[in-house]
Amino acid sequence: MIKVAFFDAKAYDMPSFKHYGRLHDMEFKFLETKLTEDTAELANGCDAVCVFVNDTVNAAIIDKLHEHGIRIIALRCAGYNNVDIRHAFGKIHVVHVPAYSPYAVAEHAAALLLTSVRRIHKAYNRTRDFNFSLNGLTGFDLHGKTVGVVGTGKIGRIFIDICRGFGMQVIAYDRFPAEGSGITYVSLDELLQQSDIISLHCPLTDETRHMIGSEAIGKMKKGVVILNTSRGALIDAEALLEGIKARKVGAACLDVYEEEADIFFEDRSGHILNDELLARLISMPNVIVTSHQAFLTEEALNNIAETTVNNIRSYFDGDGLCDNELCYRCGKIEQCRKERKQKCF
């Protein structure tokens, strides 16, 4: 039986992973703690570890896991910016879930947008107090507005389809445009200058970190709405706050936050929030923050569990080749698996 140390486990994770684990002769050791240098010891005696977006998988932790005989790190998410892929090469194989439910994330982005521009959250709170005044609830039509989509992978393209359904004009920026997609691509500067709404759907890399900063915000239209359901560090939160205070940014809808690791996914309602920047953002009347829940649908949870278990099982079966492996051998990380016919190492 394959034993897997499952870090940062939540109640909503367990049913689907238990189900697919039983089907594939796999035992999960569910741990509430996140993976850190101090908690890596908990994986001792296991064959694999399963981690999420806020677990730390740096070089030191990879070395510790390798010493304990861990053979594979399975990410139950698409992003892998928290994993030192380069250091893992030659030691531990790394796999991820490239697509679990792109509809879930794209639909959540659309929900945030509608909630913000039509003041749904304010109306909900108001009517619960039997206040039925419409003062301050005036929104604007999405029809005819220009939305700039940064990143046109599966999620970005589904979000584009949703926007087109509202009659919006869509422009996009991507370093690797989707050929034959019919999407109108422009430069990033053009997108910043022309968009009424900007939605981020790209991975976090050295090139995209803080791509929305003070300089980028300075190029945007006054009153722009910014959506982020990808990774928090795509946005410089201090620059965003200044843009809001300067009335340049009309609204911000954030499902992710750069310093979310010790805050999101936990009940902090009985505590003082030490992150003053996040507290100030949440206090703004034109900011909506959800706690990294865009992925959270029944369909997505099922797909995440099934794919993750299959990723682990495929490593231990046969030649160990997994279609969802992340490899640094050729520096292409994800793309090389489309060409190779054997394990990376």
Q: Enumerate the active-site residues.
A: 231, 260, 292
> Alpha-carbon distance 18 to 12, whole Å?
11
Can you say how many angstroms the Cα of residue 18 is from the centroid of all Cα atoms in its chain? 24
Both tokens of 77, joined, read 């998410």
Both tokens of 115, joined, read 């909630």
Burial of residue 309, with CB atoms counted within 10 A of its CB: 0-12 exposed, 13-18 middle, 19 or more buried: buried
Q: Of 168, 187, 249, which Cα lies nearest the Cα of 214?
A: 249
- For every residue of 73-123, DSSP letters joined together read EEESSS--TTB-HHHHTTT-EEE--S-S-HHHHHHHHHHHHHHHHTTHHHH
> Alpha-carbon distance 95 to 343, whole Å?
12
> Alpha-carbon distance 80 to 96, whole Å?
8
